[in-house]
Amino acid sequence: MIDPVGSKELKPRFVYDSERHHALMREAETLPAVTISSQAAGNAVMMGGGYFSPFSGYMNVADAVSVAEGMRTTDGRFFPVPVMCLVPDVSAIGNAKRIALRDPNMDGEPVLAVMDVEAIEEVSDEQMALMTAKVYGTQDTEHPGVAAFNGQGRMAISGSIEVLHFSYFQDDFPDTFRTAVEIRNEIAERGWKRVVAFQTRNPMHLAHEELCHMAMERLECDGLVIHMLLGKLKKGDIPAPVRDAAIRKMVELYFPPNSAMVTGYGFDMLYAGPREAVLHAYFRQNMGATHFIVGRDHAGVGDYYGAFDAQTIFDEVPDDALDIEIFKADHTAYSKKLNKVVMMREAPDHSKEDFVLLSGTKVREMLGQGIAPPPEFSRPEVAQILMDYYQSIK
């Protein structure tokens, strides 16, 4: 199986030893505590599950700026985005060297992790602007990722953490949420050697389904891991439980047994386009995938990124940084000429009118009216789940 990034074994930060876990829970109640942001909580969950291995905690400002500028920490470790714990106020923790981090996304704000504090620093306006511009490619506060990153506060708490739970993800998505450790183990149990991962924050239409089949066939893969984001999205995106149901129905009906695994991870969407594509590849290698599909405008939002920026950025990734291979995909759509889904770049004799193309707005309108999109666009069983959802929110 493919090695994790920068190591021969995963280094998850979740405390699996029960005695140690109970001791930390008791200690946490006596420690100074701070409620962290949703983004910082997502970072903790990802470190807990081994997805950000071998990193053991939140970066200090120098490392975060270095990563933003050149995708390496000050000591040369590769990572594509800053992993920070930014808060507006540190008065509750003072100069404490050991603190509890509380989860903003669960009732009662339970302790998410215990942290050994290495530094508490104020991020300057210049540093914040630099990180924002480098990671998101813009400083426009209308960009949802920019707004979330800059809305956390300017006090950076850095240091290693021990994670005590996986926020709401394990409770709300018990059949779907999986750590990198668990996915890696299941890949081994299934006997898969070549594994392609597919990232999604949306339900999968016919074109997505066929893209996965294409990738599996061309890469000669044993298995597919459909890995959906379960954290916070932007307003108007379809909730995770609905996406989960739609994807599971598709896999049940249209994939052979033991060929596809439906899983999810606990993290808020950054909408960072190219940088987020590299992050996605990084943690897919850690979960055991040998290949990763990067499509058109991967992890993008609005018109902030070029259609293939998320693919060309991999030319900037150092050769020694990642072992996972990228499957670079174009937009896929149903060809009326060929009566099948194709990558549009592989049909040069086609005009736009030769494809079945529907905008997201048009599809949402149809579903809201109880009208199923054409079968060339969406499987009827999947469309029914989405229609039921849109009808329920009218």
Q: Can you give the C-alpha Rg of the chain in angstroms? A: 21
Q: Which residue pairs, CB below 8 angstroms and at least 24 apart, start in 75-80? A: 77/6, 78/5, 78/6, 78/317, 78/318, 78/320, 78/321, 78/322, 79/52, 79/55, 79/282, 80/275, 80/276, 80/278, 80/279, 80/282
Residue 296 bears catalytic tag:
no
Q: 36, 101 in Cβ contact below 8 A? A: yes
Separation between Cα atoms, residue 322 and residue 316, nearest integer Å:
12
DSSP string of 99-157, one letter each residue: EEEE-TTSTT--EEEEEE--EEEEPPHHHHHHHHHHHHS---TTSHHHHHHHTS-SEEE
At position 174, the amino acid (one-letter code) is P
Q: 205, 296 in Cβ contact below 8 A? A: no
Q: Which of 72, 190, 194, 201 is catalytic?
A: 201
Separation between Cα atoms, residue 317 and residue 64, nearest integer Å:
17
Residue 43 bears catalytic tag:
no
Q: Which of 72, 190, 202, 364 is catalytic?
A: 202
Cα dist from 164 to 97, 172, 187, whole Å: 18, 17, 25
Reported residue count of the chain is 394
- How far out from the chain centre does Cα 307 lie? 19
Active-site residue set: 201-202
